[in-house]
A and B are shown apart, each in its own frame.
Chain A
Amino acid sequence: MKANYGYKDGSGEYYITIDSDLCTGCGSCVTACPAEVFTVVADEFSLDDEQVAIVAEAQRNKLKYACAPCKPVGERSPLPCVAACRPGAIEHSW
């Protein structure tokens, strides 16, 4: 399943997509992110309670701001969360 966390407002579209079929729940993104955007929980979409990364509730409506320090206007290095995710389960829409 692809879970799109974030929003679209007048200024643009700010979504982080986590593919729960790829995510192993390892938590690398949680440690890599300087803004505490990610958290690992029991998958609410399955009755099996597997561990999966999600975007923390408190951050979902301000991703544009939370992710801003990792997305400078000029030269960009790879995003720490994306770089840390070995299965490649994380994508940013902007």
Chain B
Amino acid sequence: MITAGIDCGAYNTKVVLYRDGKVLARAGVRSGFDPPAAAERALEQALQQAKIGRQALTTVITTGAGRKSVPFADDNVTAVTADARAVHELAPEVKTILDIGAEEGRSIQCTEGGRVADFAMNEKCAAGAGTFVETMARTLEVPLEEMGPLSLQSEKATAMNAQCAVFAESEVVSLIHQGTQIKDICRAVHDAMADRCVAMARRSGIVPQVALIGGVGYNVGFVSSLQRELALEVLVPEHPEYVTALGAALLGADHLNS
């Protein structure tokens, strides 16, 4: 039995194909302005990777912001449920999940059994999500993937006061003019983001082990800032961006098995 989980994020659409405890394929495309079409393309790519046809899929479960817009889905689940399910599968010791995507951030507190106890969200404001780092990278003229490594080279904390991505752009420009080193600004950007994410997580409660998933999980600079802010070790699973899609695929399999 093969199940497909599709995470229709605001920025990227991710697909995971799953069978009997194994991930068969992962594929991601830009969501663009037509989420159903993006879901279609991502699913096709994943099927090609796995070298199987569409008819081999037993069920397709969608999740994420655009989960209700995919006509060929069999069912949909919220990202919070999908996150908790997948993280429990990957690392059952995790009690607190931070899922920071491009346009949304979530924190989830899980029970022993991997069920959702509480969750809090940062949404509809770019300051609380991955877009913040991306906007600052563009202002700094640093490729997004270099933000993390550069940030790790910094040994100095620099304050960033702006709580809005648009105003933070001006603040970054003035930091550059004041001669602040780029690596220190990168760290300041990640520290500011981590500060907001931890405050969000405090609402739902922080209990170790903490895991970070979502696209921001690839950013080693953010992970380091987050660990410093939490004063805790943070676990980042492999392929953090695909964890939510995996959760949807797992929930699909659970449902068929029950």
Contact = CB atoms under 8 A, between A and B. Distances in A.
Contacts of B35: none
B221 interface: no
A21 interface: no
A56 B119 CA distance: 29
Given A9-B127, A10-B124, A72-B205, A65 B196 contact: yes
A11 B202 contact: no
Contacts of A64: 199
Contacts of B161: 61
Which one of B125, B127, B195, B203 has the highest number of Cβ atoms from chain A below 10 Å of its Cβ? B203
B128 A11 contact: yes
B152 interface: no
A78 interface: no
Nearest to B159: A58
Interface in B71-98: none
Nearest to A11: B125
B202 A68 contact: yes
Nearest to B104: A11
Given A61-B163, A65-B195, A71 B124 contact: no
B169 to A, nearest CB: 16
Contacts of B126: 10
Nearest to A71: B203
B134 interface: no
Interface in A58-91: 61-62, 64-66, 68-69, 71-74
The bracket for how many chain A residues form the interface is 10 to 19
B203 A68 contact: yes
Interface string B154-190: 0000000101100000000000000000000000000
B209 interface: no
B69 interface: no
A68 B120 CA distance: 10
Contacts of B127: 9
A68 B199 contact: yes
B195 A10 contact: no
Interface of B: 118-120, 122-128, 161, 163-164, 195-196, 199-200, 202-205
18 contacts: A7-B163, A9-B125, A9-B163, A9-B164, A10-B125, A11-B128, A61-B163, A62-B199, A65-B196, A65-B199, A68-B200, A68-B202, A68-B203, A72-B203, A72-B205, A73-B118, A73-B119, A73-B203
Interface of A: 7, 9-11, 61-62, 64-66, 68-69, 71-74
